[in-house]
Structure 1
Amino acid sequence: MSNLGTFWGIGVGPGPAGYLPLAAVAALQAADIIFAPKATTADSSIAVHCLAGIAIEPSRIREIAFTMDPDRSVLSEHYAALAETIALELQAGHSVAYLTIGDSLTYSTYGYILSALQDILPAAPLHTFPGITSYAATAAALNWPLGEGKERVLILPCPEQADALRADIASHDIVILMKIGKRLPWVLALLHELGISQYCAFAHRIGLADEILSNDLDTLNTTAATGYLATLLIRKTPKGKR
């Protein structure tokens, strides 16, 4: 097994090209094969879009459809099969990079791949590069501080019920809401009800052609903003003046 290839997990984006550590760029340029996840409903991989400007031979990139099924057993089977494919390449001595949008290990499908691959091929050399989270990219794009002093910050996938989110907001100074999807209309309604919508910020498909950036949630078009790759930054009180 001494000729096993190296596996690299690389967070890219989200958003404008260039959001990559220099070490991750070097790994990408050295990889024999680059696996890039693509939504089953999309024409191309957003992860590949995030590589714009980096000299990579297109023949080394393999776009792979991924599932967002909420059933954990379905996800496990899907990513176990993909890990088997990656393991075969590593056993052939090929170095493999796997792209994931945002940070590699923050609410990322890469975690499933990593776990399954370690079960199949525990001796494989691997390295995970950190990436930029969607909420860090959103905060930077809107110049929106994510926490100051002793403010308490909570990061979570959007709850299914408004009462749960209401409790989370009540117990934290800032709430970073991910995986919002079709829940956006009632989330915005709750923020309006609490009287805090003017302190919040929102990003959808940041860095892409149809990007939405807003720190005025009263004018947000919920139809256009609903869906994958959305992040909401919630502040319970006005930002204090220095």
Structure 2
Amino acid sequence: MISLEDIGGRAVAGTLYGIGVGPGDTRYMTLRAAALVCSVDVIAFFAKKGRQGNARKVVSALVGAERRELRFEYPLTDEVPADHSEYREQIAGFYKETAAALEAELKGGRSVGLLAEGDPFFYGSFMHMWRRLDEAFPVEVVPGVTGMSGCWTRANAPITWGDDILTVIPGTLDEERLTQRLAASDAAVIMKIGRNLEKVRRAVESAGLSDRAIYVERGTMADELIMPLRECDGVAGTYFAMVIIPGQGRRL
């Protein structure tokens, strides 16, 4: 019988692992990711104030009570616009302190698994740690199923057909740019919805795509919500939501 350890391999001392934990359902984690979560010396994760942290929640069944953990709590998230100087200053300082804490663990010879929702190299906070530590320490990035892949699968909506070009758009863009990008897209995924939901709805309508747009909140998770975007009246929107617009390309 081949064990999970045999398939995924064990963590190496003094190595930083960026572990993609997938879209939310623990069963969608890769074997490598699951094996490392079980074997690293330290589990590290980002979280919003007062929250468990989505990536940490995904791996709960794999982490015992005695594991050493590092919780990195964002000083702010969507309270201030990302292009505001206050946001940049606070988050930059936070990432600097976080990198220093990880560096101390790695210098002590401990392996660290820094969890990331979806894939670590796709809109992930892990990338800011990778940029600071990759040249000084061994770093391995473990790819994960992206949130958008989990969402369009749960919505039963194939996203690209034939020669469709997929555009991934952050919902934080201003309404005019959102509309322009959407109007030029065969298929689209709008991420980082949060408080931008109404703006996104207007942009999708202006681009003439409302009939194809699907709202997916916490896709693959126990409390997921899936509905046509045009029916989202009264929905508050969360950061872990996205709008998917399937393409209409060649179908044989």
Question: Is TM more than 0.5 here?
Answer: yes
Counterpart check, 1:46 vs 2:54: yes
1:125 to 127, 138, 153: 138
Deviation of 1:200 after TM superposition, in Å, equals 1.6
Q: Which moved more, 1:155-164 or 1:17-26?
A: 155-164
Task: Please give the per-residue CA displacement for 1:82-111, whole angstroms capped at 9, x wherever unaligned.
Answer: 111111111111111100111101111111
Partner SS, residue 92 of structure 2: helix
2:191 to 163, 166, 178: 178
Task: Please give the per-residue CA displacement for 1:18-66, whole angstroms capped at 9, x wherever unaligned.
Answer: 2211112222222000002111142x12212111443545532332212
> Identity of counterpart residues, as a percentage?
25
**What residue is the counterpart of 1:148 in the other structure?**
161
1:9 to 5, 15, 18: 18
Partner SS, residue 13 of structure 1: coil
Mapped to 2, the partners of 1:239 and 1:141 lie a distance apart of 21
Q: Is the 8 A contact 2:161 2:249 kept in 1?
A: no
Q: Is the 8 A contact 1:5 1:124 kept in 2?
A: yes
Partner SS, residue 176 of structure 1: strand
Partner SS, residue 14 of structure 2: coil
**What residue is the counterpart of 1:164 in the other structure?**
177
Mapped to 1, the partners of 2:219 and 2:53 lie a distance apart of 15
Q: Is the 8 A contact 1:76 1:112 kept in 2?
A: no
Mapped to 2, the partners of 1:208 and 1:41 lie a distance apart of 20
In the superposition, relative to structure 1, how do residues 81 and 36 fare at CA in structure 2: closer, same or farther (>3 Å)?
A: same
1:72-111 matches, within 5 Å, as 72-111=88-127
Mapped to 2, the partners of 1:26 and 1:87 lie a distance apart of 23
Letter in 2 for 1:96: V
Gaps of 5+ in 1: none
Letter in 1 for 2:240: L
**What residue is the counterpart of 1:219 in the other structure?**
231
**What residue is the counterpart of 2:38 in the other structure?**
29
Partner SS, residue 64 of structure 1: strand
In the superposition, relative to structure 1, how do residues 32 and 74 fare at CA in structure 2: closer, same or farther (>3 Å)?
A: same
Q: Is the 8 A contact 2:164 2:249 kept in 1?
A: no
Letter in 2 for 1:34: I
**What residue is the counterpart of 2:70 in the other structure?**
62
Partner SS, residue 233 of structure 1: strand
Mapped to 1, the partners of 2:25 and 2:133 lie a distance apart of 30
Deviation of 1:221 after TM superposition, in Å, equals 3.7
How many residues get paired? 233
Partner SS, residue 127 of structure 1: strand
Partner SS, residue 82 of structure 1: helix
Gaps of 5+ in 2: 1-11
Mapped to 1, the partners of 2:69 and 2:233 lie a distance apart of 35
- The structure 1 segments of at least 4 consecutive aligned residues displaced by more than 3 Å after TM superposition are 55-58, 192-195, 207-210, 221-224, 237-242
Mapped to 2, the partners of 1:164 and 1:116 lie a distance apart of 31
State TM-score, norm by structure 2: 0.83
State TM-score, norm by structure 1: 0.86
Partner SS, residue 198 of structure 1: coil
